[in-house]
């Protein structure tokens, strides 16, 4: 499967993830305990993270609307230089909004899948790609929202610890290739849905007048 532009190389899960993450996990409940409370703890952290992303999306949308209004006013006034600045600012802001919205949509899919887990087999099938998705979200979102890096790292460690224990208890072998392909599919679905939604909710960036060249 061809890697999605949203799924970076850092989002691929390997054996090293389970060695390092299981050894350094600090989240509670501790590794080795009952799996259900630990899954619920991950779900609660995801819910908290989704709420933060919702709030951030609302702020970004409000700022986008204000910048768009200023851009339209500058174009109407034939202020080419200011229009160019605002157009570039709006394009950068839209990219941040796209990253944040894709991260939220991908994490929401992981949360839904965790809610549907009923046995060890389901858990291993869900958690391996979930780890890759969280790693992708962390690497994509951190440049835009640095304060969310640590929390996503904790979630990744918790998922790793649960997956290691579930695999050992159930005797399941993790298929990394399948897990990473599933992660690519999940993130691509999220990115596609976000792209369509943004086209519906955000007005297109208009062409700006040319800045006159200096004589």
Q: Which residues of 59-77 are buried (b: 16+ CB within 10 A; e: fewer)?
A: ebbeebeebbebbeebbee
Tell me how far apart the alpha carbons of residues 17 and 197 are, in angstroms, rounded to a whole number. Answer: 34
Q: How confident is the model at residue 191 (pLDDT cuts 50, 70, 90)?
A: very high
Average pLDDT over residues 150-156: 93
The stretch 163-169 carries a mean pLDDT of 76
Residue 23 has pLDDT above 50, yes or no: no
pTM for this entry:
0.80
Q: Is 203 left (phi over 0), alpha (psi -120 to 50) or beta?
A: beta
Residue 172: what pLDDT? 66
Distance (Å, whole) CA 75 – CA 79: 6
CA atoms of 193 and 197, how far apart (whole Å): 6
User: Residue with structure tokens 């390092």?
Assistant: 20
At 148, list the tokens: 């969310």
User: Which of 67, 72, 69, 64 has the alpha carbon at shortest distance from 208?
Assistant: 72
Highest mean pLDDT among 6-10, 27-31, 54-58, 119-123: 54-58
pLDDT value of residue 34: 77
Find all residues with CB under 8 Å of 211, minimum gap 6, and list them.
80, 81, 84
In the predicted model, what is the mean pLDDT of residues 125-143? 91
């Amino acid at each position: 499967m061809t890697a999605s532009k949203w799924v970076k190389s850092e989002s691929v899960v390997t054996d090293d993830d389970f060695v390092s993450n299981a050894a350094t996990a600090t989240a509670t409940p501790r590794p080795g305990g009952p799996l259900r409370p630990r899954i619920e703890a991950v779900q609660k952290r995801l819910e908290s993270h989704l709420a933060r992303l919702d709030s951030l999306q609302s702020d970004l949308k409000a700022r986008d609307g204000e910048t768009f209004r200023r851009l339209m006013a500058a174009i109407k006034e034939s202020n080419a230089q200011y229009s160019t600045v605002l157009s570039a600012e709006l394009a950068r802001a839209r990219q941040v909004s796209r990253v944040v919205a894709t991260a939220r949509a991908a994490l929401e899919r992981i949360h839904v899948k965790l809610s549907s887990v009923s046995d060890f087999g389901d858990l291993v099938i869900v958690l391996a790609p979930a780890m890759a998705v969280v790693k992708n979200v962390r690497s994509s979102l951190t440049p835009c929202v640095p304060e969310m890096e640590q929390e996503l790292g904790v979630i990744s460690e918790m998922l790793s610890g649960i997956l290691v224990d579930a695999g050992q208890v159930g005797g399941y072998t993790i298929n990394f290739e399948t897990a990473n392909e599933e992660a690519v599919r999940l993130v691509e679905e999220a990115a596609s849905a976000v792209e369509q939604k943004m086209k519906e909710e955000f007005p297109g960036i208009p062409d700006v007048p040319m800045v006159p060249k200096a004589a």
